Amino acid sequence: MLNTGTAGGAAVAAHRLHYGLLALGVDSRLWNKPNRNRSMSPESAGQLLNLTKPNLIEQIGGLVTKVRDRRHLKGRPSGLELYTTPWKGIATPFDRSQLGGDVLHLHWVNRWLDWQSFFGTLPTGHPVVWTLHDMNPITGGCHHADGCDSFHRGCGNCPQLAAKRRGNEDISQMGFDIKHQSYVDKNLHIVTPSRWL
């Protein structure tokens, strides 16, 4: 199982499932993104998995990506939930040596995985269970569509972006297209733990 952080609803759910599977005798492993700013006890966190060992060029690419995203997301209307993009600027390929179990279970993996490099290196038939803790995996970037249904046909002209940053080819359309292309021919099994999802 992969979950970006060790706090929040998705982390709680992932930990409960992980320990429940262990209690049933299942060989379960829970991986979290390394967080350089916080130390964690082994009891409170899964194992840390660093999918990236960025070189200088990748570090610069990651910085350029962050600056671009901030520019596109600047001036968003207030009161909206989180908005994240599916690219990192640093490749995070599927690590078969560590993640090559019978089933890969994704939870909340934003701000960790780069969709193109991760799903692009994931073997086509490898079973993936993905528990959606919010709407981000199926939208261009929002975590809650807040009444917008554009994600049914493809995002663009996103109401969650500042008016001057919206358009048919805005950041939401780019994010949606990358996600849609990343999922093609993947063996995904989607779990939705709430009625609204």
pLDDT of residue 31: 92
pLDDT of residue 54: 63
Whether the predicted pLDDT of 43 surpasses 80 = no
- Which of 36-40, 52-56, 84-88 shows the lowest mean pLDDT across its residues? 36-40
- Which of 2-6, 13-17, 69-73 shows the lowest mean pLDDT across its residues? 69-73
pLDDT of residue 57: 62
Contacts of residue 117, Cβ cutoff 8 Å, sequence gap at least 6: 91, 92, 93
Contacts of residue 119, Cβ cutoff 8 Å, sequence gap at least 6: 94, 182, 183, 186
Section 15-26 average pLDDT: 96
Section 22-33 average pLDDT: 94
- Which of 65-69, 105-109, 143-147, 169-173 shows the lowest mean pLDDT across its residues? 65-69
> DSSP letters along the chain, please?
-EES-SSSHHHHHHHHHHHHHHHTT-----EE---TT----TTTS-EE-------HHHHHHHHHHHHHHHHHHTTPPTT---B--S--SS-----HHHH-SS-EEE---TTT--HHHHHHHS-TT-EEEEE-SSSGGGSSSBSS-TT--GGGT---S-TTS-GGG-STTSHHHHHHHHHHHHHTT-EEEEE--SS--
Query: Distance between CA atoms of 182 and 117, rounded to whole angstroms?
Result: 9
Ranges of each domain in the chain:
2-191
